[in-house]
Amino acid sequence: MGKLDNMVAIVGGASTGMGAATARLFGQEGATVVVAARSRDKLSTLVQDIRVNGGTALAVPLDANDRGAVAGMVERTRSQFGRIDVLVNSVGTNIKNRAFVEMRPEDWDMMIAHNLTVAYNLVDAVLPVMRIQGAGTIIHYSSDAVQKPNVVSGIAYQATKHGVRGLAHGTMMEEREHGIRVSVVYPGPCNTPLLEKRPEPPPPEAFAKMLEPEDVAEAALFIASLPPRAYVPELVLGASLM
């Protein structure tokens, strides 16, 4: 018996890092997992990994900035599997020129689109299904930069991750009467490909002290597997050695 038996979960941004780890863990715990991201090849490999370990998975390559594509993915999920119990939003990016004096207006626009508007697109698409069901759990991966502002992550990254927090809590207040729960996870430094976009990559010794994507996936599993009467507004997941 898995903790997510008979559940259907969509994981956006599933091709690498926290999203891929979440999809694998959810599959191991019995969920049918629909994985979405832009990289067709990485999604194909991920689905094979989930199936080899006994899980059920479907890959839907898409650009989540395309609202029509997101809506199509949600409808395909509902049509093929009958319901959507969990949405995990693991979409996120950053830029190298992240200081205010270096950032260009088009960088800001891209960050808003990719980190915040995409979150809206995913939620907007799944809400009608969850309302009809009278149940559903939405989990957003934000960042501990919301809790502890820093220079490393950059202005645009912090602003968009604050925006995700606002989206999450506002959605929860409006949708709780429909049985929908919305949670935000704030991971600390985590060993993911996003670190490659830092202006100066962390020194090798720092990686051993960071979170791993699987740690964040465990946090999402905890939230998703709680009974409907329980709700986690926010979960801060720190790297204890840093």
The catalytic site residues sit at 157
**Nearest by Cα to 167 from 183, 149, 153, 188:** 183
In single-letter form, the type of residue at position 151 comes to: V
Each residue of 47-77: b (16+ CB within 10 Å) or e?
Answer: beebeeeebebbbbbbebeeeebbeebbeeb
Q: Which two tokens stand for residue 69?
A: 């594509």
DSSP 59-77: EEE--TT-HHHHHHHHHHH
In which order are the strands placed within the sheet that holds 8-12?
Answer: 56-61, 32-37, 8-12, 86-89, 136-141, 180-187, 234-237
Q: Which two tokens stand for residue 81?
A: 């599997």
d(Cα 186, Cα 129) in Å, to the nearest integer? Answer: 26
Residue with tokens 């979409």: 91
